[in-house]
Amino acid sequence: MIPLPSILLLAAAVLTVFCQAAVPEMFHWFGARVSLLPALMVYASLETGIVTVALTATVGGLCFDSLSMNPLGISVLPLFIVGFGMELRRELILREQLFAQIVLGLLASTLVPALTIVLLLSGGKNPLLGWGTLGQWLVMTLAGGVATPVLFECFGWLNRSLGYRPVSESSFHPDREIRRGRH
């Protein structure tokens, strides 16, 4: 059975890519197209398991590539590398701290486009690169850093609203008989 956070995360990945394609003005800031998939990978790697990280990278990457000019599947590996790297060290990361969320969002939003460009160049493709690329990369990095804590808050609220809290077992049982006196 797939838990609720995994379902919400996969739905958010598909919805994010769809909104980026359907309403480009919403994600086009300062001359750069902002992608929220790296921020989603940060959340997936810190709050879910490796299966959800792999599914989010695959579904999000394939959806993104199918609606862009990228070769199909080129975005899957960079997303997975970033998610897997953070998932390996998630016990050491202070995931509830705002500063850590921002730094991880900045890191993921920097690495995913860089790894994608490396894969494109390795595959013999000639992406359009220039000085404007650095400006777009900076905008994408900053937007990813700002979006990551927002996503943590949104998913935390959704999990609290739609999920259930596990009942803590107490050692006290109300039906237990207490004998007093001497035996």
Q: pLDDT by residue (tens digit) across 4-36?
A: 788 889 999 999 999 888 887 777 766 778 889
How far, in Å, CA of 34 to CA of 86, rounded?
21
pLDDT at 56 over 90: yes
pLDDT at 176 over 90: no
Q: What is the Rg, in whole angstroms, of the alpha carbon atoms belonging to the chain?
A: 21
Q: How much is the pLDDT for 2? A: 59
Instruction: Please answer whether residues 39 and 86 qualify as being in contact, where contact means their C-beta atoms are separated by less than 8 angstroms.
Output: no
pLDDT at 173 over 70: no
Q: pLDDT by residue (tens digit) across 102-157?
A: 999 999 999 999 999 999 999 888 887 888 889 889 999 999 999 999 999 999 89
DSSP state of 97: -
Give the global pTM: 0.84
| Percent above pLDDT 70 for the chain | 91
Class for the domain spanning 4-161: mainly alpha
What are 114's two structure tokens? 């860089």
Per-residue pLDDT band for 1 (boundaries 50, 70, 90) equals: very low
Mean pLDDT, the chain, rounded, equals: 87
> Per-domain residue ranges for the chain?
4-161
Q: What does the DSSP assignment read for 124-173?
A: T-----SHHHHHHHHHHHHHHHHHHHHHHHHHHHHHHHHS-PPPPP-S--
